[in-house]
Amino acid sequence: MSRIHEALKKAEEQRPPAWKPADPTPLGFGDDGIAVAAGAMQSPRREEMPTAGRCLRLEELRQRCIKPGWKLSPDYDVFSTKQSSALCAEQFRTLRSRLYRLREKSPIRTLLVTSTLPGEGKTFVALNLALAIARQHERRALLIDADLRASRLHVRLGAPSAPGLSDYLGGRADEFSILQADPKVELFLVPAGRPVGNPSELLANGKLKGFLNGINSVFDWVIVDAPPVLAVADAGIIAQFCDGVIVVVRAGETAHDLVKTTLQEFRGNNLLGVVLNGANEGADYGGHSYYAGFGMDTE
Ligand SMILES: Nc1ncnc2c1ncn2[C@@H]1O[C@H](COP(=O)(O)OP(=O)(O)OP(=O)(O)O)[C@@H](O)[C@H]1O
Ligand SMILES: [Mg+2]
């Protein structure tokens, strides 16, 4: 059994008594990682976005995208000044560092964040990972809400929900009108857009692939928030267009067998690792200091 499976099994055995959203003790990663100073690693920076047959400069993108003025709730932002979030923020920096380490080995830039079941913390992880990146000097992150069935990113950010991805995929909006920017940090958002009746068909129609290919060179990281795997096929479709997949597992809640099924879907393809969300500080999750594991699952 791999170390990640051991950790998941242990987490299931040590199921915490209750979930406490008010006290966000969130994520953890194994003690086998190598600390990398934030911002120490250089990633290639290309500032052109080929789209509609021509190349757009970053400055044009900045000028033409929407700047609605988000109202990010401090309850969802682990980098807010709330003291209880300090440990959580540190773990998102660790996750960020591990992703930069993985990038040293393979060219990853577009990340899909998914999970087995609803409510495991995909949006929480996607948003705070993007914030961790955008808070670095001269780093630029794009968040895409590809959960066209239960979109939440715009709610967490206090941003308009449309026009967004569904409108672009349906041919009702162009690249610029679906991109929102924050004037303070280098964080951009593509919200999910207007509700549609055929999300899977839209995601598979080829336009998402083209959009990601065109836009990802403008950003240091592109983070795609997806629906859960067991409910619908959407995450598997989007994963084909992403460089890597992160699977969020809610500590002590998601059954081990179900997580195994999810990991099998992406193993051998582009699975990067697992984030154990909501783990108890100090708990022993099978060989990891406390919390969980993030890394390659080699089983
Ligand atoms: N580590 C955490 N600490 C505290 N609250 C959390 C944590 N992770 C998630 N939550 C809370 O749990 C709820 C579900 O989280 P979230 O919306 O991120 O899950 P999701 O997997 O994206 O759900 P869905 O499948 O519905 O999209 C939210 O209210 C969120 O604020
Ligand atoms: Mg979500």
Residue 269 lies in a domain: yes
DSSP 40-90: -S------EEEETTEEEEHHHHHHHSB-------TTT-TTSS-GGGHHHHH
Nearest CA to ligand 1 atom 25: 118
Of all protein residues, the one whose alpha carbon is nearest to atom 11 of ligand 1 is 21
In a domain, 118, yes or no: yes
* Residue 119 alpha carbon to ligand 2 centre in Å: 7
Give the mean pLDDT of 63-87. Answer: 86
In this structure, which ligand is nearest to the CA of 228? 1
Is 184 among the domain residues? yes
278 CA closest ligand 1 atom index: 1
The per-residue pLDDT for 191 is 98
In a domain, 287, yes or no: no
238 half-sphere exposure, CB direction, 13 A CA radius: 33
Asked whether residue 158 is domain-assigned, the answer is yes
Task: Say how many domains are in the chain.
Answer: 1
Residues lining ligand 2 (ion), CB within 5 A? 122-123, 152
Q: For 275-299, how does the pLDDT look when each residue is reduced to its tens digit (9 = 90+)? A: 999 887 656 554 333 333 444 343 3
Question: What pLDDT is recorded for position 281?
Answer: 67
Closest ligand by atom to 251 CA: 1
Of the candidates 167, 149, 168, 216, the one whose C-alpha atom is nearest the C-alpha of residue 188 is 216
Provide the token pair at 127: 């948003």
Q: For the whole model, what pTM was predicted?
A: 0.84
pLDDT digits (tens, 9 = 90+) for 160-183: 999 999 999 999 999 999 999 988
Residues 13, 252: Cα–Cα separation, whole Å:
7
Look at residue 43 and tell me if it is in a domain: no
| Ligand 1 pocket check for 156: Cβ under 6 Å | no
Full residue range of the structural domain in which residue 167 is found? 3-15+24-31+54-230+237-277
Residue 157: CATH number of its domain: 3.40.50.300
Is residue 129, in this structure, part of any structural domain at all?
yes
Say if 39 falls within a structural domain. Answer: no
Residue 121 in contact with ligand 1 by CB distance below 6 A? yes
Q: How far is the CA of 226 from the centre of ligand 2 (A)?
A: 7
